[in-house]
């Protein structure tokens, strides 16, 4: 009845979009009724029955669909793209597949706490074509996670029939390759859905494992209302119309004399009244005009930085050792912290950062993962939803491309969309000058500084790396922590032995001078230091940014206004990099103080070559001195 109301309102232009679940209602209601109230469920955009079964107030749903403040996203997202911790419902993003990996993380948290709970996650048969589906099933199977993967096989992914999605007869067959128990359920029979899922859920609580549940069903409306169903053969629609789950259940109840027509009419009258009253309540709600300041303040969860000062007791160690020590001390401090990554357990990681961690913290907290960046980042998000911190090691920052979608569309947008933080640090070993070639040498920080909702940190020294990493782990927001491979074992420093923190957004002034400002970060800091050592007559302010989001523009502007000249050195290729935006900011804010154009020095516009003589030509470190002298001579 709610759906019928929505279809009328859609035609009247009072809501903008609707994904109808008519014909599939038994699955949402049956699965949700089989779960306990505090067990998480991750629905799709035609699973209204999940929300009504969990008794989410209709007025709030109606407000959500109108983009009003009483909804769940403050008008920032539409339809069912939202979650609510109050009702243990975690909404989808349009990319479909990622929520399957999120369910893995939620279930992992339950398992780590020895809670006998299941997590149910929905997808359509079309979504099983996505790599995220296969990654999520594999992770759940390998880790023995109590997840019910509920696949609604309604025959069409928008207009694409199943025969063009996969050739196996049943979606359930896809579980075989992952050693996963599978079941096929009549998705249009509420009694079969509830009875079967309830039995399975009870068994999974006792014997944790993932299950693949294929619900055979059919949607009677279009993928979304505007697309229609002209592509569906009429005889197929007629065949499934006879299997309508509500009409057939109603007939069964009447035949068994468990209900009467009069009682049905009473129910419908009460429901109609409830729908109308809640709709009127939502309509009366004022449209909230937010401010730019308010919108910006909701991109990140508030983080009250707690300074822990470094101790005087220090040891001379390398950058890689400082990161390892910082990770270890954070693991000791945070009992709810998990480290995940490829080869990080027994092997200690390809750079040996987590060597010895398995023995100290155990395999529950130091988790080797399959080779599936997307699924693991999604699982990290699920862990955050369910109360855990996580650090994910990308073997190389280049490999984040295999997990780009969840970083950009889950982690970055989560808090802004529905006030759910992503308490995750992605460790990003990066950079060239090590002869590693095009696939292991990128310094790709600019991909992420462009995306609101992500913090980006890039230390150049061991002391900074240790303190900034501690802050990154304390911060409840997603942080990408870049670690340059070329300075892992070549840069030593006296580093405080005990736990300490360093704030984000505060640059380090390494040298002070009067003629020019040099702004850089990462390996560029060491190239600039070497250049100044070789040319002691150059009087320069040398600024190590340390964090790129947030960015310490105050330190940069103050220096530029003093020296009148500025050169920005980055390892990344020139176009679209940090230097470009920083140059624009300096021009906009310090134009009258400039005695020369802002100068940028960066790598050339090619992929990163392997051979050393070619890599040297690619990198800017040799050209930097000439660019610096040219700027000083302007």
Q: Mean pLDDT across the stretch 147-172?
A: 85
Do 119 and 41 touch, CB atoms closer than 8 A? yes
Sign of CA dihedral 367, 369, 375, 377: positive
- For the stretch 309-324, what's the b/e string if a residue is b when 16 or more beta carbons lie within 10 angstroms of its beta carbon? ebeeeeeebbbbbbbb
Residues facing residue 182 across a β-bridge: 212
Residue 218 has pLDDT above 90, yes or no: no
Reported as a pLDDT band with limits 50, 70 and 90, residue 163 is confident
Q: Mean pLDDT across the stretch 223-244?
A: 81
Residue 94 CB coordination number (10 Å): 10
CA distance 472 to 391: 10
Do 474 and 501 touch, CB atoms closer than 8 A? yes
Reported as a pLDDT band with limits 50, 70 and 90, residue 388 is very high
Which residues form the catalytic set? 440
What is the pLDDT of the chain when averaged over all its residues?
95
Reported as a pLDDT band with limits 50, 70 and 90, residue 18 is confident
CA distance 453 to 477: 8
Residue 21 has pLDDT above 90, yes or no: no
CA distance 161 to 158: 8
CA distance 583 to 561: 14
Using a 10 angstrom Cβ sphere, with 0-12 exposed, 13-18 middle and 19 or more buried, the burial of residue 553 is middle
Q: Mean pLDDT across the stretch 482-494?
A: 97
Query: How many Cα atoms are found within 13 Å in the side-chain-facing hemisphere of 561?
Result: 10
């Amino acid at each position: 009845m709610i759906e019928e109301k929505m279809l009328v309102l859609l035609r009247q232009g009072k809501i903008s979009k609707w994904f109808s679940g008519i014909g599939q209602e038994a699955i949402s209601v049956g699965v949700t009724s089989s779960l306990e109230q505090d067990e998480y469920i991750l629905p799709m955009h035609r699973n209204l029955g999940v929300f009504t079964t969990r008794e989410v107030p209709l007025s709030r749903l109606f407000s959500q669909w109108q983009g009003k403040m009483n909804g769940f996203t403050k008008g920032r997202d539409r339809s069912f793209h939202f979650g609510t911790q109050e009702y243990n419902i975690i909404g989808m993003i349009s990319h479909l597949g990622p929520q399957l990996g999120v369910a893995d993380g939620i279930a992992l948290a339950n398992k780590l706490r020895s809670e006998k709970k299941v997590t149910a996650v929905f997808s359509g048969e079309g979504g099983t074509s996505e790599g995220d589906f296969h990654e999520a099933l594999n992770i759940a199977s390998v880790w023995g996670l109590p997840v019910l993967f509920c696949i609604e096989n309604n025959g069409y992914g928008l207009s694409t029939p199943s025969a063009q999605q996969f050739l196996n007869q049943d979606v359930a067959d896809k579980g075989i390759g992952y050693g996963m128990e599978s079941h096929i359920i009549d998705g249009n029979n509420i009694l079969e859905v509830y009875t079967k899922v309830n039995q399975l859920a009870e068994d999974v609580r006792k014997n944790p494992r993932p299950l693949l549940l294929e619900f055979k069903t059919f949607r009677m409306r279009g993928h979304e209302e505007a697309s229609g169903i002209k592509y569906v053969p009429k005889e197929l629609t007629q065949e499934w119309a006879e299997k309508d789950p509500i009409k057939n259940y109603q007939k069964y109840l009447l035949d068994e004399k468990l209900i009467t027509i009069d009682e049905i009419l009473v129910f419908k009258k009460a429901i109609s009244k409830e729908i109308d009253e809640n709709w009127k309540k939502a309509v009366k709600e004022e449209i909230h005009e937010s401010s730019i300041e308010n919108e910006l303040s909701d991109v990140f969860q508030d983080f009250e930085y707690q300074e822990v000062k470094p101790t005087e007791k220090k040891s001379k160690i390398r950058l890689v050792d400082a990161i390892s020590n910082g990770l270890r001390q954070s693991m000791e401090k945070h009992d709810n912290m998990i480290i995940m990554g490829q080869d990080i357990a027994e092997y200690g990681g390809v750079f040996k950062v987590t060597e010895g961690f398995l023995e100290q913290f155990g395999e529950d907290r130091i988790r080797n993962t399959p080779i599936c960046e997307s699924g693991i980042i999604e699982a990290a998000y699920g862990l955050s939803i369910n109360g855990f911190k996580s650090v994910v090691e990308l073997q190389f920052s280049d490999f984040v491309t295999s997990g780009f979608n969840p970083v950009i569309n889950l982690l970055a947008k989560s808090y802004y969309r529905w006030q759910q933080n992503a308490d995750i640090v992605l460790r990003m070993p990066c950079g060239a000058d090590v002869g590693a070639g095009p696939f292991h040498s990128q310094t790709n920080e600019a991909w992420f500084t462009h995306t609101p909702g992500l913090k980006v940190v890039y230390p150049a020294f061991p002391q900074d790396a240790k303190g900034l990493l501690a802050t990154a782990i304390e911060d409840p927001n997603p942080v990408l922590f870049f670690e340059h491979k070329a300075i892992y074992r070549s840069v030593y420093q006296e580093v405080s032995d005990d736990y300490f923190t360093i704030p984000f957004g505060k640059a380090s002034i390494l040298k002070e001078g009067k003629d020019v400002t040099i702004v850089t970060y990462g390996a560029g800091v060491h190239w600039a230091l070497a250049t100044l050592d070789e040319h002691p007559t150059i009087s320069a302010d040398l600024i190590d940014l340390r964090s790129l989001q947030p960015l310490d523009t105050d330190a940069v502007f103050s220096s530029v206004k003093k020296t009148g000249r500025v050169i920005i050195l980055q390892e990344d290729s020139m176009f679209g990099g940090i230097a470009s935006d920083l140059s624009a900011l300096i021009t906009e804010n310090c134009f009258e103080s400039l005695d020369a154009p802002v100068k940028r020095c960066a790598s050339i516009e090619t992929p990163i070559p392997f051979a050393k003589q070619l890599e040297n030509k690619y990198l800017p470190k040799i050209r930097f001195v000439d660019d610096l002298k040219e700027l000083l001579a302007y």
